Structure 1
Amino acid sequence: MTISPLPHEITDWFRGRGWRIRDHQQAMFDASETGQHALLVADTGAGKTLAGFLPTLADFAPSRLAGAQPPEGLHTLYISPLKALAHDVQRNLLAPVEEIGLPLRIETRSGDTPSDRKKRQRGRPPHILLTTPESLSLLLSYPESAELFASLKRVVIDEVHAFATGKRGDLLALSLTRLQSFAPNMKRAALSATLGNPESFREWLAPWGDIDKVTMVVGEDGAPADVEILLPDGQRVPWGGHAGTWAIPQIYEEISRNQTTLIFTNTRFLAEFIFQKLWDANEDLLPIGIHHGSLSREARRKVEGAMARGELRALVATSSLDLGVDWGDIDCVVQMGAPKGSSRLLQRVGRANHRLDQSSRAILVPGNRFEFLEASAAKDAVDEGQRDGEDFRPGGLDVLAQHVMACACAGPFDEQALLAEIRSSLSYAWVEEDVWQNVLRFVATGGYSLEAYDRFRRIVRDRSGVWRLTHPDHAARHRLNAGIIVDSEMVQVRFRNGRSLGKVEERFAAALSAGDTFAFAGLSLEVERVKGLDLIVKATTKAAMIPSYGGLRLPLTAHLSARVLAMLDDRAGWGRFPDDVREWLEMQDWRSSMPAPGRLLVESFPHAQMHYTVYYTFVGWNANQSLGMLITKRMEEQGLQPLGFVANDYSLAVWGLKPVSDPAPLLSPDILADEFVEWVENSYLLRRAFREVAVISGLVERQQPGKRKTGRQVTFSTDLIYDVLRKYEPDHLLMQAAWADARARMTDIGRLGDMLDSAAEQIVHVTLDRVSPLAVPVLMTIGRESLPQGSAEDALMLEAESLAEAAMHVDRIVE
């Protein structure tokens, strides 16, 4: 097939800017011209987004139109994981569209879009619509969706690595199958800078599993990233902590030297905390902003606009600005705490300069000595071009149920035709007929145990054999409640005049009384009263507490974990570390042993009339939390009288009144069989997982016309249903979905199982007379982390003080 060249208007525009069309941009255009879908993997600053849109721009070039009117209807969908990214792309697309003179209308659509504009977009869509997976799914729930998308030529999925492997990816995969049925010739394009497993993403992108229809495009290599690890001036790398606040003076100096500095944190709590610390140090009153997902839309847009105009000297942000936002004037990126993955670090580093021919500069600020090792491992991976990422897993049944309901809202459907459509995606190719019938039964009646209740009857099969809504009101209720992201229970933070600053967790707000103070949105706020779902506040100069956000702990990737373990085992390589870190490891090696790949180190020692055991698992915080629960249960059965445990990404520390003489029976792989099942069923984990799948599937509604349920009301409703299903229908569709979540996401059970299998072959158990150097970081978190129910909290608070003294004692030995 002869490939048409790019229209001269586009090549002239590139030339006028002093640019050349890069090979991967041309390859993306060529793939579209030959009828291929395409996956582009290219470094940040390589012009990925423009590459994805080149076929669209070409279709509207005057020379191609040849005097004809531009095509009517929706031409291209752009799917972004972030609303901020969609708005940024719109701003950047307008430049070539206006300068070339293309007759293109571009609009965004998200939860922030006014309802009148959303309605108009369904009747008179723009040529390019920039949206999110959730907003696309909602569009597909309208009766006019088939007509709306019939003209669709192209879908561009940006930063595909950020969501394709999760439930948002499941929802998008289902939406893509629907779009393909409306527009059979639609072409798919996906873009990313950080894919560790591109072949898996090609398979995910391919319709009907036809991977040969997906062209793999690899971008030109950019300038290597310039990454450095910050060390304390004249001080030691801290034993414990993860905030890196010791570096505030040095970071402020960096901000003062640069035009713009972007500071990333791993949690919203830490973003507020670091912002306050920087503001305390801000003697020159430099303009410093803050950005995270709990802030109001107005606050986020204000900050984004200020950054785009170059008005801020620094911005403290979370993952809300990880992806693709193009602010080319950023001189330096600072990562507070360990990055938890090489791909995540590479993504964040790429926010600096945002140009392929210039190195992006980044500074890593480790909070403690283990985080220094993790930062070093991440830096090495970035230097070597090694990326990590999550594997794909079967699509969630709760997401499938939501999609079926969306299809029913759009109009009657034939179950076999819809099943064939659903199976055309990688995420749901596994769905057999019996699973499909269970999904239909659930959407229709709620399942066997709930079918007697009319409110769960949403669809019915009519005499002609097609499924349709039982009542039109169900469509409105679906659109009010559909979505994948189930936030923690939140309340609005408002001034007395009604202006919203954003949201904080309901449980945090419930603990506040009039007169209490807290820091939020970069302000010190004083509580005036709680009114319904609003926390009414006023600005104050009083000292403030910090809101604590749950559920946002970033997981340590298996790739980075393996690198840190290899680093510990490479004694010859310790010479490149700072003296205090090197001496810390040498002292550990002399006094005890070192963790190593394929070997589990377990240390036991007495301290303050209790007995401690530390397991160096390197499987991440989630898995270590699960293991702590299971080990303490076994210890109780063996009469070892456990008192509690703490965990971090690298290790688990358990203490009790009696010593552990042999850890092997506590770690046998069968701990993940019956004991795991019993523990999960009787813990909050499965209930929390059930709450999320019940909301996603539409069984429990958060929103009603003019009213939103509180988090407590949702929890109460889901708990009631959970208890019924657990007793009468334990194999219910949602119980299956909740178990899948509890295993794969909340407990990282796969990683934990692999570690226990290895431990069964080689455990190194070392008995010591006092705390080891490697154990100090995790033990210093005692009193800072929440303790499991039933622990001796009072005794442990006292223990924290003596452990700090032990840390100082080890420091003196090292010196």
Structure 2
Amino acid sequence: MNRKDLFNIAETWFNKQSWKPFPFQKETWNAFLQGKHGLLNAPTGSGKTYALWIAIVLQYIKNTPDYQKKPAKGLKAIWITPLRSLSVEIKQSTERFVQEIGIPFTIGIRSGDTSQKERAAQKRNMPDLLITTPESLQLLLASKGYDKTFKNVIAVVNDEWHELIGSKRGVQMELALSRLKTISPAIRIWGISATIGNLSQAREVLLGSHADTLQNSVLVKANIKKKITVRSIIPKKMDTFPWRGHLGIHLLEDVFPIIQQSKTTLLFTNTRAQCEIWFQKLLEKYPELAGEIAMHHGSINKETRLWVEQAIRNETLKAVVCTSSLDLGVDFTPVESIIQIGGPKGIARFLQRAGRSGHQPGKESIIYFLPTHAIELIEASALQKAVKNNIVEDRIPYLNSFDVLVQYLISLAVSDGFYPKTIFPEIKSTFCFQTITEEQYVWILNFITKGSQSLNAYDEYKKVEIESDGRFKVNSRAVAMRHRLQIGTIVSDAVLTVKYLKGGFLGSIEEWFVSKLSPGDVFTFAGRNLELFRIKNMQVLVKKSKKKTAKVPSWMGGRMTFSAQMSTLLREELYSVSDQKSVNSVVIKPLSKELKALAPIFIKQRKESIVPGPDQFLIETFKSREGYHAVFYPFEGRFVHEALGSLLAYRISLLTPITFSIAFNDYGFELLSDQEIDMQQVLDNNLFTKEYLNNDLQKSLNATEMARRKFRDIAVIAGLVFTGYPNKLIKSKHLQSSSQLLFSVFNDYEPDNLLLRQAFIETFEHQLEEGRLIEALERIESQNIVWKQCKNPTPFSFPIITDRLREKLSSEKLADRIKRMTAQLEKL
């Protein structure tokens, strides 16, 4: 069948749906049929799934003239999704097409939610299309005879590739793809991405550094302008001294009309704790929403999450308070409005969330921005500009993740074993390991067979045996079982299940939060107030409580920071304010309505200090009963500020013996001391230089201690420590102590250990964002430093001060204290 006839099959089906294929869909079909690999970039809700699934089916039809007969057994295509919740949507879309054109294809899902019975059935008879996750694909590679499973696969599609590329899950996929390319030489590798800045690099990471593969690839960009409307919810009364303690709850009355006017509204929060609070407060204020409002986050049990997703599709819910668990790909046609509560910290995240509404070609996406404190309106203004100018973040890929490589090689050894000389060129063809040396590879091989130089006396680290023909193989059933249980790169704190005393599973919660509770304590979870009865066998046993006040769980994943692009846009918005002679005067550039609404804050800020311009770096100092405050404003995000604050405190202490407490947020950082800082001495000694940065950071932040914590994750991924069996997980404090012991051994006796070195590199590159820190220091060195000696805290410094107080005071005492502080400052 020629290409025209093949396209006719697809176009006829589109016509029956009253649709018309987009040019990007046809371009994708064409490229796939020509045998090309590629990356598809198209907006959310524009039909990306059909662009690639139809291409795969057309290729099958081309190779199989009697395509409507029952196909030969075996896997033909793999669809990788980073989130299990997307699998059902993809299954429904792919099934719909093949059923309606008369191809008896079977579509299967394999993820952490798949039952053991279904997995066994798949092993006996694989579906034609398998929708799976990176972790489940690795488990298949750890199965005996995996080469027979994958030998006839013609395509691997990596959905939401931007979600994988900047993580070790992306490295997992790079290694898996390098193996599949060898097993099935005819395979075509494709990625799908809606929101990513560095598209060319994303394609290179997907396809590897092999020149032939890259040359035989395309980058398909959809020329579709998705209409996204951003509406800011501007408080009627603007706090001159803003703080984030109320989490935006004071704007509940502005949210309710949006919920009433829309079929369905998704309210996105940045953390699970915030999600729980908003759900409770909405129900308290508007009890008529009972039965029409639900909550969705990753720690709620699977059954509840699936029920919520289906209820949205069925239009039986008016509102869902959620987290990033509903960020991606799920097609909710009834959703008309999105409310983003608080700054999303990144442009891509904001656009993804906006795309949950109007999730159909040609439909408008509407997103409301609700600030949790006034200064977040600057972020809203920056996001408006990002949407208008199509600005999206780059995703930075990992390099030389040796812990993932160790796990991958043991997976291959667990299945059929491997020959090192065969696998090395495959590994080197990946983007992540393009610079790996033979010496490093030999070290890795020694590590999995002998347990590295300092562990070779212990048999438990000798996992892989070298057989007489040179094959590397795991022959121990116990080693194989433990390895399969621990495949994956997402390392989190130990998770405990939450259950009612009388039965009934509610979800899961992190051990570090529960460890702070005592029996009788009440906490909020899954929209209910629960009283802790006891903790037993990794289960948190609870009963319902009628108490009004309760602790809100916090999750370790709740600490987010600005992306680099978001920081740049925020500074540009702020600089546009500094260009005005006064906020209410005739302006050079018109201000956004968000910035105009902040006029009272900017007027007060100028009265006490300045609003910095593009060539200015602002430092404010003032004295209070707490001591001497010095506040610095790089506007670079909390991770950079944490590092910069510690660096500056260390450098000042070299000039004068002085101790500080450090506080920071996304806008700046504060050094607080009981003695006055000689700021002129700080300026004269050029303490913002990037010279000796790495050395000073190591001393200022105790980088060894940070690397020690980072090493825990590396040790888990590399299988150095075992996290436990499903119903008997090892407590996080035991994991930490085991990994710390190994870290100390390597640090003292094997300093060139690749996993140890990786811990330090990841600490600097990913946790401290050393690259961004250098750029920030370079920018500060080129600016005029403006030091303002203030009498009182300014509107810019107030959120940083109150964040520090949060650590010391309960929420009620904090609110009272801030109310008094605000009243005093308003009088001045």
TM-score range with shorter-chain normalisation? Answer: over 0.9
Give the corresponding residue for 2:219: 216
For residues 251 and 795 of structure 1, the distance between their equivalents in structure 2, rounded to whole angstroms, comes to: 27
- Quote the offset at 1:577 in angstroms: 3.8
SS of 1:102's partner is: coil
1:331 aligns with 2:336: yes
- Quote the offset at 1:141 in angstroms: 0.9
For residues 283 and 446 of structure 2, the distance between their equivalents in structure 1, rounded to whole angstroms, comes to: 56
SS of 1:642's partner is: coil
Give the corresponding residue for 1:585: 602
Are the structure 2 counterparts of residues 107 and 797 from structure 1 closer, same or farther at C-alpha, using a change threshold of 3 Å?
A: closer
Aligned residue among 364, 367, 380 for 2:372: 367
Matched residues, number? 806
- Quote the offset at 1:147 in angstroms: 0.5
Aligned residue among 411, 425, 429 for 2:416: 411
- Quote the offset at 1:134 in angstroms: 1.0
Contact 1:160-1:190 within 8 A present in 2 as well: yes
1:671-686 counterparts in 2 under 5 A?
Answer: 672-681=693-702, 684-686=705-707
Letter in 2 for 1:742: T
Root-mean-square deviation (CA, aligned residues, Å) is 2.5
1:282 aligns with 2:266: no
SS of 2:733's partner is: helix
- Quote the offset at 1:647 in angstroms: 0.8
Give the corresponding residue for 1:562: 568
- Quote the offset at 1:616 in angstroms: 0.8
After superposition, give the CA deviation of every residue in 1:212-268 in whole Å (9 maximum; x if it has no partner): 222111113144211111112355487110722122122122112211001111111
296-305 or 517-526: bigger deviation: 296-305
SS of 1:426's partner is: coil
1:453-602 counterparts in 2 under 5 A?
Answer: 453-543=458-548, 544-570=550-576, 571-572=579-580, 573=589, 575-577=591-593, 579-597=596-614, 599-602=616-619
For residues 273 and 609 of structure 1, the distance between their equivalents in structure 2, rounded to whole angstroms, comes to: 31
After superposition, give the CA deviation of every residue in 1:513-560 in whole Å (9 maximum; x if it has no partner): 222111111111111111131110122222222111123322211111
370-379 or 326-335: bigger deviation: 370-379
For residues 185 and 22 of structure 2, the distance between their equivalents in structure 1, rounded to whole angstroms, comes to: 30
After superposition, give the CA deviation of every residue in 1:382-431 in whole Å (9 maximum; x if it has no partner): 12222113222414111111111111112221212111011111121111
- Quote the offset at 1:283 in angstroms: 2.5
Contact 2:494-2:730 within 8 A present in 1 as well: no
- Quote the offset at 1:655 in angstroms: 0.6
For residues 2 and 386 of structure 1, the distance between their equivalents in structure 2, rounded to whole angstroms, comes to: 40
Letter in 2 for 1:610: G
Contact 1:205-1:214 within 8 A present in 2 as well: no
Are the structure 2 counterparts of residues 592 and 609 from structure 1 closer, same or farther at C-alpha, using a change threshold of 3 Å?
A: same
After superposition, give the CA deviation of every residue in 1:691-741 in whole Å (9 maximum; x if it has no partner): 000001111110247632121221121121122222212221221121122
Aligned residue among 259, 262, 280 for 1:258: 262
Aligned residue among 742, 755, 769 for 1:748: 769
Contact 1:771-1:806 within 8 A present in 2 as well: no
For residues 756 and 322 of structure 1, the distance between their equivalents in structure 2, rounded to whole angstroms, comes to: 34
1:9-158 counterparts in 2 under 5 A?
Answer: 9-59=9-59, 64-65=65-66, 69-158=70-159
SS of 1:310's partner is: coil
463-472 or 34-43: bigger deviation: 463-472
For residues 162 and 468 of structure 1, the distance between their equivalents in structure 2, rounded to whole angstroms, comes to: 33
For residues 741 and 252 of structure 1, the distance between their equivalents in structure 2, rounded to whole angstroms, comes to: 44
- Quote the offset at 1:806 in angstroms: 4.7
Are the structure 2 counterparts of residues 195 and 653 from structure 1 closer, same or farther at C-alpha, using a change threshold of 3 Å?
A: same
After superposition, give the CA deviation of every residue in 1:719-776 in whole Å (9 maximum; x if it has no partner): 2112222221222122112112211222222211221233234333332232223212
For residues 490 and 42 of structure 2, the distance between their equivalents in structure 1, rounded to whole angstroms, comes to: 28
Contact 1:237-1:580 within 8 A present in 2 as well: no
137-146 or 593-602: bigger deviation: 593-602
Are the structure 2 counterparts of residues 64 and 58 from structure 1 closer, same or farther at C-alpha, using a change threshold of 3 Å?
A: farther
Letter in 2 for 1:511: K
TM-score when normalising by structure 2: 0.92
Letter in 1 for 2:309: E
Aligned residue among 717, 724, 737 for 1:716: 737
SS of 2:803's partner is: coil
Contact 1:291-1:316 within 8 A present in 2 as well: yes
After superposition, give the CA deviation of every residue in 1:439-473 in whole Å (9 maximum; x if it has no partner): 22222233111111100001133333332225233
1:765-804 counterparts in 2 under 5 A?
Answer: 765-784=787-806, 786=807
Contact 2:154-2:184 within 8 A present in 1 as well: yes
1:646 aligns with 2:663: yes
For residues 651 and 507 of structure 1, the distance between their equivalents in structure 2, rounded to whole angstroms, comes to: 28
Give the corresponding residue for 2:586: none
Aligned residue among 225, 240, 243 for 1:240: 243
Are the structure 2 counterparts of residues 590 and 67 from structure 1 closer, same or farther at C-alpha, using a change threshold of 3 Å?
A: closer
For residues 797 and 327 of structure 1, the distance between their equivalents in structure 2, rounded to whole angstroms, comes to: 39
Unaligned 5+ segments in structure 1 are 787-792
Letter in 1 for 2:760: W
475-484 or 116-125: bigger deviation: 116-125
For residues 389 and 179 of structure 1, the distance between their equivalents in structure 2, rounded to whole angstroms, comes to: 27
1:385 aligns with 2:406: no
For residues 546 and 413 of structure 1, the distance between their equivalents in structure 2, rounded to whole angstroms, comes to: 49
1:283-298 counterparts in 2 under 5 A?
Answer: 283-286=287-290, 287-298=292-303
For residues 306 and 707 of structure 1, the distance between their equivalents in structure 2, rounded to whole angstroms, comes to: 34
SS of 1:701's partner is: coil
39-48 or 591-600: bigger deviation: 591-600
SS of 1:261's partner is: strand
- Quote the offset at 1:273 in angstroms: 1.3
- Quote the offset at 1:11 in angstroms: 2.3
Are the structure 2 counterparts of residues 584 and 810 from structure 1 closer, same or farther at C-alpha, using a change threshold of 3 Å?
A: farther
Are the structure 2 counterparts of residues 467 and 715 from structure 1 closer, same or farther at C-alpha, using a change threshold of 3 Å?
A: same
Are the structure 2 counterparts of residues 609 and 159 from structure 1 closer, same or farther at C-alpha, using a change threshold of 3 Å?
A: closer
- Quote the offset at 1:4 in angstroms: 4.8
For residues 51 and 303 of structure 1, the distance between their equivalents in structure 2, rounded to whole angstroms, comes to: 28
- Quote the offset at 1:618 in angstroms: 1.9
Aligned residue among 422, 427, 433 for 1:428: 433
Are the structure 2 counterparts of residues 808 and 441 from structure 1 closer, same or farther at C-alpha, using a change threshold of 3 Å?
A: farther
After superposition, give the CA deviation of every residue in 1:483-540 in whole Å (9 maximum; x if it has no partner): 1101122211111244321111212111222221111111111111111311101222
For residues 5 and 375 of structure 2, the distance between their equivalents in structure 1, rounded to whole angstroms, comes to: 54
307-316 or 34-43: bigger deviation: 307-316
SS of 2:722's partner is: coil
For residues 821 and 547 of structure 2, the distance between their equivalents in structure 1, rounded to whole angstroms, comes to: 36
Letter in 2 for 1:487: S
Are the structure 2 counterparts of residues 711 and 393 from structure 1 closer, same or farther at C-alpha, using a change threshold of 3 Å?
A: closer
Contact 2:703-2:760 within 8 A present in 1 as well: no
- Quote the offset at 1:308 in angstroms: 2.3
1:267 aligns with 2:271: yes
For residues 183 and 237 of structure 1, the distance between their equivalents in structure 2, rounded to whole angstroms, comes to: 64
Give the corresponding residue for 1:227: 230
- Quote the offset at 1:174 in angstroms: 0.6
Are the structure 2 counterparts of residues 146 and 744 from structure 1 closer, same or farther at C-alpha, using a change threshold of 3 Å?
A: same
Contact 1:7-1:61 within 8 A present in 2 as well: no
SS of 2:632's partner is: strand
After superposition, give the CA deviation of every residue in 1:290-340 in whole Å (9 maximum; x if it has no partner): 111112222222222222222211111111111111001101011000121
TM-score when normalising by structure 1: 0.94
For residues 266 and 798 of structure 1, the distance between their equivalents in structure 2, rounded to whole angstroms, comes to: 24
For residues 738 and 515 of structure 2, the distance between their equivalents in structure 1, rounded to whole angstroms, comes to: 20
For residues 659 and 706 of structure 1, the distance between their equivalents in structure 2, rounded to whole angstroms, comes to: 55
Letter in 2 for 1:576: S
Are the structure 2 counterparts of residues 759 and 446 from structure 1 closer, same or farther at C-alpha, using a change threshold of 3 Å?
A: farther
Identity over aligned residues, as a percent? Answer: 30
Contact 1:272-1:519 within 8 A present in 2 as well: yes
